[in-house]
Structure 1
């Protein structure tokens, strides 16, 4: 799986990209936006503003700003109007958001603009503060916008949910995300993603999976949604649903990364379908999607072992062991070779284990070697190995029994040891 950080960054990006829907009016006795009378700037200021508009229409933003910044309005309304215009122009210039917010705040605080102008100023301040990660300020301006207009809007609630998520206030994130969803005319993934992320962060994995189901239902053709749903099922330990989801994703061609294929292989094994797991592992190892390292080969060997495909398990344990000369996997290979009565090959694997790295018990290796020699009729070598095994506390008792048995067998067959 991907790491937690990788999975949550994607969710936040999804939440930012909201689509436009019209705001919904909220019942109120009287909205302030409706009480504002239409006003015009003074003649002196109006002439300068008109010239600035003309320059802006010619894409000469710097020229328009130069004129506006030279105006020194005396009246409060004129000051608010010019400040709003300056702020709006700076908002469109890269690297000038702080300056834009400073002028827009002046206009908003004077609070004398016409209804639509004041509303747009408040909302723009919310959007700019979100962009600058000033979340408390953004929330204030969005609340001010709703109070002023007596309206609700799905995208405003989405941005409020995003702000609360960034502040790690997950219960509020859920509240605003639900409000955003309730106002949607068409499904927008953003609030669902924030809901799922909030449940994920609070370890409510089953609820996260429920939301992820909604995401897949509304956006079934986005491959990442299927992977995400499978991950949520896994975190909630619903391995059957996780397997079904990832299997569908595989059949749709949505699996792309090594971790995604490994996840599906793991789920087959967890759901007691080891052969399909092993076949998938073998497929992606042969394709080169997953590197043939010790870990991946050992996992494949272990899965074939579970599937009772012993010959393949022997092969892959051997390959895994050879990469780092790992005694552990040589011993597993030797044990399976003994099971298949391939005693000569077992002796080689045991000696490889004894010469390899990380052998936990020399006595166990010697004991297995004694048995291999014995079944090949090599009683003298079997006796020597059993005597060596008797010197290890782990295998002393069993080795003593084998020493006696080897002697009795050799005597019966008239073989000197």
Structure 2
């Protein structure tokens, strides 16, 4: 499962935050000037104003660096923003909520720059030491996202578990992370409830339905897989040719061969069916005891490969169409399994009261490949011939 997460740019620092920090008078004046420039969208000027600040106090330097990080970020200069934010954080001059916000900015900047391992370290510190009213759930979600991107599946699941402790309404992003990690860890049974929660949010999402069916197949819940695929189709989810073949297979596997055949016939109506598709459809019709449809489909298969005239002949013989059976067998001249074909001829000729020809075919079958069936026919037809001969005399 491929997932992309876009980390949102942060614009926390406004003029009101200046009052939270005791700045030197001349530094405070330059900071206010820079903030006015930024408010007027003159970011380059704001950056130059702050770069020109000569701050002696470490706290002043840290605060100016934090503002610079913010303006660099707004100006799409992420590398410079990270440098300034890192200085603001590692100086340890910014305390309490402002220090926490500075670390949050650095974590987000690092995440946006794909420096995930360092970012997740900061996110965990933030989650463990969050001031009151901070949205810690979103921090755990961010941690889960990063572990997922780093292919650290168990850590991703653990982070999402922490997120779920906040008992928020279900949302696609955390559930998607949970599902992806569960699949990667082959926890297929656990993945099924997760997918169902995703389907409650996005019932028309084809991917969730297919994931559900896949998980049910992996856990050998074949009837559930059939029900899920049926329901997806009922809800208008477009199924691919491969999905429809799977649906047909599940119908057959669950003892509903007629529906399996109808799905395959529907597929055949959309494009020219392959030989494999025709033979599969014919088998389904045969399992459903729909003899006419089975015979017709075997005849279509036989147009691709003559060996399937044997299947046609068997069904016609079974249905009492003996001459048609012989006609189909005539198309198998010189084909493999000659002994089997001769035995089928024996049965058809016997039913047509052509006993001598039937006996000839039985002997031919036994000559090609001796068998108890051929010998039984030879014995029976020889006795019948003797009986008829005695009656005539």
TM-score range, shorter chain: 0.7 to 0.9
* 1:2-41 deviation per Cα after TM superposition (whole angstroms, max 9, x unaligned): xxxxxx22xx35xx4899xxxxxxxxxxxxxxxxx93255
Conservation of the 8 A alpha-carbon contact between 2:82 and 2:109? yes
Determine which of 88, 108, 120 is the counterpart of 1:107.
88
State the partner residue of 1:155: 138
Larger Rg: 2
Matches of 1:163 and 1:263, distance apart in 2: 35
Cα distance change of structure 1 residues 219 and 377 upon mapping to structure 2, 3 Å threshold? same
State the partner residue of 1:173: 156
Cα distance change of structure 1 residues 354 and 85 upon mapping to structure 2, 3 Å threshold? farther
Secondary structure of the corresponding residue to residue 203 of structure 1? coil
Determine which of 191, 207, 210 is the counterpart of 2:174.
191
Tell me how far 1:271 sits from its aligned partner. Answer: 2.1
Q: Tell me the C-alpha RMSD between the 2 structures.
A: 3.9
State the partner residue of 1:340: 319
State the partner residue of 1:23: none
State the partner residue of 2:298: 317
Secondary structure of the corresponding residue to residue 224 of structure 2? helix
Tell me how far 1:149 sits from its aligned partner. Answer: 2.0
Greater mean deviation of Cα atoms: 146-155 or 105-114: 146-155
Determine which of 202, 219, 239 is the counterpart of 1:236.
219
In structure 2, runs of 5+ residues without a counterpart are 9-18
Matched, 1:308 2:292: no
Matches of 2:246 and 2:341, distance apart in 1: 34
Using CA pairs under 8 Å that are at least 6 residues apart, name the structure with larger relative contact order, 1 or 2.
1
Tell me how far 1:209 sits from its aligned partner. Answer: 1.4
Secondary structure of the corresponding residue to residue 289 of structure 2? coil
How many equivalent pairs are there? 378
Cα distance change of structure 1 residues 225 and 384 upon mapping to structure 2, 3 Å threshold? same
State the partner residue of 1:264: 247
State the partner residue of 1:57: 39
Greater mean deviation of Cα atoms: 371-380 or 242-251: 371-380
Tell me how far 1:312 sits from its aligned partner. Answer: 1.0
Conservation of the 8 A alpha-carbon contact between 2:217 and 2:225? yes
Cα distance change of structure 1 residues 376 and 212 upon mapping to structure 2, 3 Å threshold? same
Secondary structure of the corresponding residue to residue 20 of structure 2? coil
Tell me how far 1:105 sits from its aligned partner. Answer: 2.1
Tell me how far 1:140 sits from its aligned partner. Answer: 0.4
Matches of 2:53 and 2:24, distance apart in 1: 12
State the partner residue of 2:229: 246
Matches of 2:232 and 2:24, distance apart in 1: 65
State the partner residue of 1:201: 184
Matched, 1:76 2:52: no
Cα distance change of structure 1 residues 147 and 333 upon mapping to structure 2, 3 Å threshold? same
Tell me how far 1:307 sits from its aligned partner. Answer: 1.2
State the partner residue of 2:340: 364
Secondary structure of the corresponding residue to residue 149 of structure 1? coil
Matched, 1:88 2:67: no
TM-score normalized by the length of structure 2? 0.77
Matches of 1:332 and 1:198, distance apart in 2: 49
* 1:135-165 deviation per Cα after TM superposition (whole angstroms, max 9, x unaligned): 3222201112123424562222122223333
Matches of 2:24 and 2:302, distance apart in 1: 87
